[in-house]
Chain A
Amino acid sequence: MMLPPYAALLGIAHVGGDDPTLLTMPSADTLLGRPGYLHGGAIGGLLEMAAIVALRSALADDGGGQIKPINVTVDFMRGGREKPTFARGTVTRLGGRVANVEAIAWQGDAAKPIAAARMNYLIVRG
């Protein structure tokens, strides 16, 4: 799936393999907030991309359509360090007009997330 220009700016890419919803973002000085830690906005940007990838994938299997973000809530659990970050989105409910999506980001150990997001999207069916 093509990622938008903002994903390229952050260096976000598909990990590949058999999980099309798994994304990664490399460590870079341009992604830092306070010294030594990723900016929450960069982590949030990655979570949003993971959510969109998961939703577009689910939507493609369900007749397709346009998506519009309604809101996002990001919880920051741990500081993101200067190493690669991974993220995966999960569509918890795909309805006719609204989708509920979750995304989680981690480094190293997927059982120790650094941040998680919940997002609601409006769906405009084709």
Chain B
Amino acid sequence: MRGGAHTLAPMLHCGTDGGMTSDPLPAFDPQRFLRHGVGGHGGLLALTYHAHGPDWVELHLPYRAELIGDPDSGVLASGPILTMMDMATSLAVWTRLGRFRPHATLDLRIDYLRPATPGKAVFGRGECYRITRSISFVRGQAHDGDPTDPLAHVAGTFMFTDAPVEAPVEKGA
């Protein structure tokens, strides 16, 4: 199958290629997915790809005065961090799954560990740690240069919005 890292992925692939063993589609690649930049709200925030692994994606949010939520301190509003972490965790789901599948955010929680440092870019690393037939579970952290000193921690869930995936069907069954 597509990469060995995601053990749950094979049963979820059967919607499009159940039982096929030859010519698999290339695995979902978040760097390629974002190579032309991000449109819509992510584009407004100038979010860009930074790095990824088998089940995680890290995005980059440049500091801008327009993103300030507290004029007294210059600290960023949580909306931009919410947007970045929603996108990073969403991409992490497809990366772990190995393919794009439409889904919608059910819920997202952010714990603010400390204020973002004024003037510094923020990195958001989203991880998908579990995928079931209908739901994916995600978590992540945002930092502004030092991953060991995160400024926010997130946890959330997504629900797939396409037809439910059945259990894998063996070829010829």
State whether A74 and B83 are in contact (beta carbons under 8 Å apart), knowing that A9-B67, A30-B44, A31-B44 are contacts in the complex: no
Residues of A within 8 Å of B, CB-based: how many? 34
State whether A71 and B77 are in contact (beta carbons under 8 Å apart), knowing that A5-B71, A76-B104, A76-B106 are contacts in the complex: no
User: C-beta contact mask, A14-50 vs B, less than 8 Å → 1, else 0?
Assistant: 0000000000000001111110001111101110110
Is A41's CB under 8 angstroms from B110's CB? Answer: no
Q: Does B40 have its Cβ within 8 Å of any Cβ on chain A? A: yes
Is A72's CB under 8 angstroms from B44's CB? Answer: no
Residue of A nearest to B110 (CB): A72
Most buried by A among B70, B82, B83: B82
Q: Does B79 have its Cβ within 8 Å of any Cβ on chain A? A: yes
A32 CA / B79 CA spacing, docked (Å): 14
A32 CA / B106 CA spacing, docked (Å): 17
User: C-beta contact mask, B99-112 vs A, less than 8 Å → 1, else 0?
Assistant: 00010111111111
List chain A residues, Cβ under 8 A from B112: 68-72
Is B107's CB under 8 angstroms from A74's CB? Answer: yes
Residues of B within 8 Å of A, CB-based: how many? 35
State whether A9 and B40 are in contact (beta carbons under 8 Å apart), knowing that A45-B83, A70-B111 are contacts in the complex: no
Is B66's CB under 8 angstroms from A76's CB? Answer: no
Given A33-B42, A48-B78, 15 more contacts at CB 8 Å? A4-B69, A6-B80, A9-B67, A30-B41, A31-B44, A39-B40, A41-B80, A45-B79, A46-B79, A48-B82, A49-B79, A69-B78, A73-B107, A73-B109, A76-B104
